[in-house]
Amino acid sequence: MQRDIAKFLKTKRKEAGLTQEQFALKAGVSIGYLRKIEQGQPIETFELLNQMLSMFNAKLGVVNQAELNDNER
């Protein structure tokens, strides 16, 4: 599931036209940490995960549903 979240965040960041630097600044994390997250490292807290998802009007359930839809293809 962590890889799916990483892929989701990276995709949404790019769709929003944000660089890693811009997204890291908005999320309040270092660019190095954001890079690790986008590579699949677990996000340290649920609050940070929720904050990052909310920047794209998404919730954890939406990410899980996207994963299910991808698996059905």
Encoded tokens for 49: 């995960």
Mean pLDDT value across residues 31-54: 94
Q: Confidence class of residue 43 from pLDDT cuts 50, 70 and 90?
A: very high
Counting every residue, how long is the chain? 73
What confidence tens digit (pLDDT) does each residue in 50-73 have? Answer: 999 999 998 877 555 554 455 444
CATH assignment, 2-72:
1.10.260.40
DSSP 55: T
